[in-house]
Amino acid sequence: MSALTFAKIDQTVLDTLHPAKRSYWILVALLLLGVLAGAACWGYQILVGIGVGGQNNPVAWGTYLINFVFWVGIAHSGTLISAILHLFRAGWRNPIARAAETMTVFAVCIAGLFPFIHLGRVWQVYYMLPYPNQRYLWPNFLSPLMFDVVAISTYLTVSTLFWYTGLLPDLAAVRDKAQGVRKKIFTYLSLGWTGQHDQWRHYTRGYLFFAALATPLVISVHSVVSWDFALGIVPGWHTTIFAPYFVAGAIHSGLAMVLTLMIPMRKVFGYEKIITMDVLENVAKTIVFTGLIVGFAYGTEYFIAWYSHNIVELESFRWRAVGDYRFGFYIMVICNTLIPLLFLIRKIRRTVVLLFGISILVNIGMWYERFVIIVGGVAHGFSPHAWGLYAPTVIEYGIMFGSFCLFFFLFLLFAKHLPSISMTEMKETLEKGEAHAT
Amino acid sequence: MDRRTFLKIVGMGSVSLAASCSPPDKTLYSLVQAPDDMVTGKASWYASTCRECPAGCGILAKNREGRVVKVEGNPLHPINKGKLCMRGQAALQGIYNPDRIKTPLLKEKDGWRPVSFSEAEALLQRKATHAAKTGPGKIGMLTEIVGETLLKLFTESLAHWKSQRPMIFEPFAYESLKTANQKVFGIEGMVSYRLEDADVLLSLGADFLDTWLSPVEYAWKFKAMHALNNGKKGVFIHVSPYQSLTGANADQWLACNPGSEAAVAFGLIREILKLGRASRLPRALRFKIENTARFYTREKVSELSGIPPNLYEQLIHRLIRADTPLILGTGTGATGPNTLQSNIAVNYLNLLLDSKLSLFNFDERHRIGLAAIRSEVLEFFKNLDKNSVELLLLNNVNPVYALPSGSGIRKALERDSLFVVAFSSFMDETAELADLVFPARLPLEAWDEYGGKNGVVSTLQPAMGRLTGAPHLGDVFLRAAFGQNGPTDNYKTYLVSGLVAKGRIKDDRSWIRTIQRGGVFEPWAPASQKRRSIPQSAPRSMNKLSDPFTSGLSFIALPSIRFFDGRGANRPWLCEVPDPVSRVAWQTPVLVHPKTAEMHGLRQEDVVRIQSQWGQLHAPVYITESIIAGTLAMAFGQGHTSYGRYAKGVGVNPGDILTADLESISGGPLFAVGEVTVSKSGRVMKLARMYGSRTQQGRKFALSVSLAELNKGKSTEKSGLTMEDFPITLPLRAGYDKKRDFYPPVDYENYRWSMVVDLDKCIGCAACSAACYAENNIGIVGEDRVIDGREMTWLSVERYLDPQQGEKITFLPMLCQHCTNAPCESVCPVYAPHHSKEGINNQIYNRCIGTRFCSQNCPYKVRRFNWFSWNWPKPMNLQLNPDVTVRSKGVMEKCSFCIQRIKAAHTHAKNEKRAIRDGEVIPACVQTCPTSALTFGNLKDDNSRISKLAQTPRAYQIMGYLNTKPAVIYLKKVRQEI
């Protein structure tokens, strides 16, 4: 393995920004089509009514909120990797930090779309803003949905700024190599970065502060999202464990998504030397850890249901395991806690194909976890007469498909137009002699 | 392009864009010449009579700005005492039905041709005159049951045309009851019963809470004897092959094999005779009865009927010990070959138990007794051809649908030389075969008179302007038969002068008073109605019992509480409100006992083919313990091949496999057939059911208490914080407990609206639900969306079965509980659910953005979301209550405690400078409840009725342990073993 040099890092990363091949644009166009299909589904829903989805009474929340929580969850590991691991000086996070952060920003954006899609009257969404009005109508700050608005918008702002801050020196590096229009754009984007000492000083300070600021957000955002449920009195939702349980779950799914994205990118862009097997292995190890936390939470829920002697809770959890949605429950348990345990075997966590496969399974498992919680709770709630089932419709699948297309569409654009690996941080680690955590 | 052109194009473009996006015109027009009594915003009430079934309940029609928006029971009326069933509520959807025929239709080779009313009348007159000239009896008439006056006019007109009096056709004419009354008591017609005075009531299949004779009347009478009263309540036992709503309200429903009711009745006679109570009967008669009854030993009865011996024994004991027992004969559903014998035996049984028959009212006979028996009706159709009748007049009857296909009605109507005029407002199966469809005015638009019982004059008056140009049927007959030389020039005069002549009203002035009150309700009985002495000998037909259907599969058809004989099938409210016992809306499932299902390998929702000797049908399976094993049951009313968009092709008609043969002695139809086969069609049909779980899973929803336990007094009541022992927590400041409550207490201003639901009185008839649909502009979603779980009902009568004994049913009217600690209020981000100063949980539609969190968090699941914008096809929109917002897509809605009525009461009280009185605010559901199970009032007032009810030991709150402090307080159902 030839040693990495500054020049080599620059070269490898900047090479990825060369004009793309036709196949890339075809892929981008296909994804855009998918996005448009999703948008069309949404448009249809606005026109006809939310009833084009499968929600009903008692299950008034369906895939829209499942996807919301799913994407917020995905958005977590980006900040975890770039901020928390930065504070912990875990050098192995450097090669994947940029991509993970980007993933975060895009995932939050998409997550933020879903509450809008979910609303019965999206055209009145501004009622949620505390704007001054004659009637003194104010939003209800007791509502967990208001918490959500605050939490998600804060998270989006901070993670975007953090991402952009980290990007600055690299943008300048691109500008220096670029020509023509690209040069103009990157000159504009790099905000006059010259690489002076003062700039570097401010930059590193600023970055550190951002990291410190973003860290509590990682915990808070998904805690708040979990309160959407935990503050409801629905059996299966109304539990104090939800905040840590959701945060762990979010990180779990986020890490899996990092693997899902990094592995193909590493292959396509030839990043093998930068994103080494060790980096992937470290991610896999963390997944084992988060998977165990999630598994522990599953167990705790059952224990508390039994311990409470509350027949409503008991029935809710009995039904979760043997009722109509039992397959969702099995997928969730198997994919989230049992399968990641395979990473305990060194050979498996160092085999790229297996890493990729398992990461996708974890993603599926985490989606089903949200399904089991969100749909399962209300489907089998307090009133036995009102028990009912829910199944998503074509429109809902369309919107969900559109959201995935949008995510990959944005990510593909990013990968080809912005440096997908932080050259700055790679060089830092190289200089400190601990190149990518070997 | 120069600058000017550019500006032109931009200007035009933006103007047209703005114009195309602007909302449609919303202009309020006021009438240039309004009627004198019309004040915009103020309702006028017109007393009238419900004509949705032969019972003849009094109604008040609420007219707002010229259109009827609601009907309610007339409190002065002796039959229904201000109450109404769901069919009565849905009368509005007859007049406003989008499929109502507006002009007469004349059948021509290439289809229907609309003609004017005068043309149609001229044609009718021509045909009638021609037929009258040809010879006597050339005009036939079949009419639904109508009031005396109209019937007299029909008779006179037909006599003028040299023809017979009209035949009164009602699909449910209670032939066997009538024959039994005639044979045992020597009277014609249908006696009425003083149910309210019985202490033990045994019904051998009489569904008096569903459709039997006069359901609203018998519902309040039933609760007068059966509801808890001073620690006592009457006993009601129902013996029937299927559990109708009536059976569901029995203390014990005894499932018997179809056709074995007679065996039970004779068995009971045997037991009574053994006690020597027959001394007052004539010897010969007693001997005859004894002779028949002696075969029916306890073992024999149990064997034939399938009633467990111990329950049968208890039934005997109950009946023997009773002071004022009353036994009701079989009604309409499941009428089989033994029904006549059964009814004869029932009459004798009553006679043995109470020789004075004090609970029989021979004076006030039900008007339905006038209906022709089925054999006469069939004879009538046969004679059409034989007598070469030229003109057939059909007044609002649908024999093609109601009679089994083997009856040959279709053929009789299709004869070329017969001109058929159907006076029908809807294109039903019979109207389709007519040559002229002549829509007459509907009851809510017409002057008339209809007494549901002898001695009651109940008037009808137009409660609104006319929607169509249709004339009154009486006027049509007056003009067609008599031209200028009629007895009077219009039907109204004919009506009034007729009543004056009969001495029921004094003069024209008392007529005004009469229509204001809705009729003449003073007791009055013509001498001819008095009961003759009882015939001394027993009818010979009595002992001709055939075996009950014990072998093979049998099939029975029942009248539906929703559609009656099928005439209700085009009212979407009746389709949408589910059947109370099966909780299935829109469809007609076939009821199958779990054992039968197992034997034939059937599962819920399988579509099966049921084949009898007379036909076959396909229907989805509904597995239930409300039917005896070995029998399949299905309700009448749906499966129309025409009759408008809501009825056509919806559900199944059980008549398709019924026999056209008649019961030989009474001449009545048979609604039970034996030896049917059932096979799976391989298809599956999702049921539009409205329940999730059939039982309440041990939760504190629909609670009951046994009578013995209740009378023992309060048990050692410990109060804790679990579901079982959480204390009742009133939704007032008194209900605040620092230890339990997070938020500060709420103080209400003067009122805290609240409702008490007495589960012991609730019979589950869902009249409240229909009334709520009518009052609150609730959307009709249709079959598919009910399957999706998107019904919009604000008040659903939940049905909970006992987990051990599936036939023990508790009905639970579930509506918004208007909690003080409402889980819905705290989770809405925009305060759309708003807690009012009077405790009502208001839903602000304008503010709602549709997050649906409130619905998720509601433990009672009473919130309903507008998944789409519902439409009211014209002219159904005219029924919409102008006091209630019509909700559009994307907003949540739910029960408002009829806030519009509370506000109206506020205004009224404020004008009079006083507080609202107890009982002044009556929500639609409370108003219509036939058994007064619902009470509404102010909980802050310690003297209000609900405050007192809330203190009774039966009071509880649903899921009170969630500390939601609901304002709907339930009183436990009181159970007793027989």
Give the pLDDT band of residue B142 (cuts 50, 70, 90).
very high
Q: Average the pLDDT over B404-425 and give the result.
A: 90
CATH 3.40.50.150 is held by the domain B101-171+371-438: no
Interface test with A, best of B830, B834, B870, B962 (most A CBs within 10 A): B830
Q: How far apart are CA B213 and CA B246, in angstroms?
A: 13
What is the number of alpha carbons within 13 Å of residue B293 lying toward its C-beta?
Answer: 26
Q: How far apart are CA B802 and CA B696, in angstroms?
A: 8
Considering only B9-23, B486-500, B576-590, B823-837, which range has the smallest mean pLDDT?
B9-23
Q: In whole angstroms, how large is the CA radius of gyration of chain A?
A: 23
* Higher-pLDDT residue of B544, B138: B138
Q: Is the pTM of this model over 0.90?
A: yes
Q: How far apart are CA A301 and CA A241, in angstroms?
A: 8
Quick one: closest CA in B to A391, which residue?
B788
pLDDT score for A435: 40
Tell me the percentage of chain B whose pLDDT exceeds 70.
95
Strand order in the sheet with B235-240: B252-255, B235-240, B200-203, B325-328
* Higher-pLDDT residue of A110, B337: A110
pLDDT score for B294: 87
Region for residue B713 given its phi and psi (left: phi exceeds 0; alpha: psi -120 to 50; beta: otherwise): left
Asked if the Cβ–Cβ distance from A55 to B847 is below 8 Å, we say no
Chain B CB contacts of A391 under 8 Å are none
Query: Where are the strands (E) in B719-793, listed by range?
Result: 753-758
pLDDT score for B19: 60
pLDDT score for A436: 38
ipTM exceeding the 0.85 mark: yes
Quick one: closest CA in A to B852, which residue?
A60
Give the pLDDT band of residue B746 (cuts 50, 70, 90).
confident
Tell me the percentage of chain B whose pLDDT exceeds 90.
69
Give B633 to chain A, closest Cα distance, Å: 24
Rounded to the nearest angstrom, the gap between the alpha carbon of residue B450 and the centroid of all alpha carbons in its chain is: 18
pLDDT score for B20: 58
Q: How far apart are CA B80 and CA B219, in angstroms?
A: 9
CA dihedral B772, B778, B782, B785 (to 10 degrees): -110
Quick one: closest CA in B to A139, which residue?
B830
Write down the architecture of domain B546-684 according to CATH. Beta Barrel (2.40)
Asked if the Cβ–Cβ distance from B857 to A59 is below 8 Å, we say no
What are the residue boundaries of the structural domains of chain B, listed by start?
101-171+371-438, 175-365, 546-684, 704-820+897-975
pLDDT score for A378: 92
pLDDT score for B525: 56
Give the pLDDT band of residue A365 (cuts 50, 70, 90).
very high
pLDDT score for B717: 61
Q: How far apart are CA B110 and CA B105, in angstroms?
A: 12
Q: Is the dihedral of CA B35, B36, B38, B40 positive or negative?
A: positive
Quick one: closest CA in A to B797, which residue?
A385
Count the residues in chain A: 438
Give the pLDDT band of residue A146 (cuts 50, 70, 90).
very high
In this complex, which of B692, B693, B829 lies closest to A143 when CB atoms are compared?
B829
pLDDT score for A65: 94
Interface test with B, best of A57, A63, A390 (most B CBs within 10 A): A57
pLDDT score for B823: 93
Q: Average the pLDDT over A290-298 and give the result.
A: 94
Considering only B421-425, B526-530, B934-938, which range has the smallest mean pLDDT?
B526-530
Asked if the Cβ–Cβ distance from A121 to B890 is below 8 Å, we say yes
* Higher-pLDDT residue of A94, B596: B596
For B704-820+897-975, which CATH class?
Answer: alpha beta
What is the pairing mode between strands B235-240 and B252-255?
parallel
B526 pLDDT more than 70: no
Considering only B263-277, B537-551, B852-866, which range has the smallest mean pLDDT?
B537-551
Interface test with A, best of B691, B856, B863 (most A CBs within 10 A): B856
Give the pLDDT band of residue A432 (cuts 50, 70, 90).
low
pLDDT score for B119: 93
Q: Average the pLDDT over B185-195 and give the result.
A: 89
Residue among A156, A171, A147 at smallest CA distance from A104? A156
Q: Average the pLDDT over A312-333 and give the result.
A: 93
Q: How far apart are CA B610 and CA B328, in angstroms?
A: 31
B666 pLDDT more than 90: no
pLDDT score for B52: 93
Q: How far apart are CA B399 and CA B377, in angstroms?
A: 9
Chain B CB contacts of A314 under 8 Å are none
Cα of first residue to Cα of last residue in chain A, in angstroms, is 13
B118 pLDDT more than 60: yes
pLDDT score for A437: 37
What are the residue boundaries of the structural domains of chain A, listed by start?
37-50+79-121+143-213+394-417, 232-382
Which residue type is seen at B788? D
Write down the architecture of domain B175-365 according to CATH. 3-Layer(aba) Sandwich (3.40)
pLDDT in tens, A233-259: 999 899 999 999 999 999 899 899 989
pLDDT score for B544: 66
Chain A CB contacts of B848 under 8 Å are 120-121
CA dihedral B7, B8, B14, B18 (to 10 degrees): 140
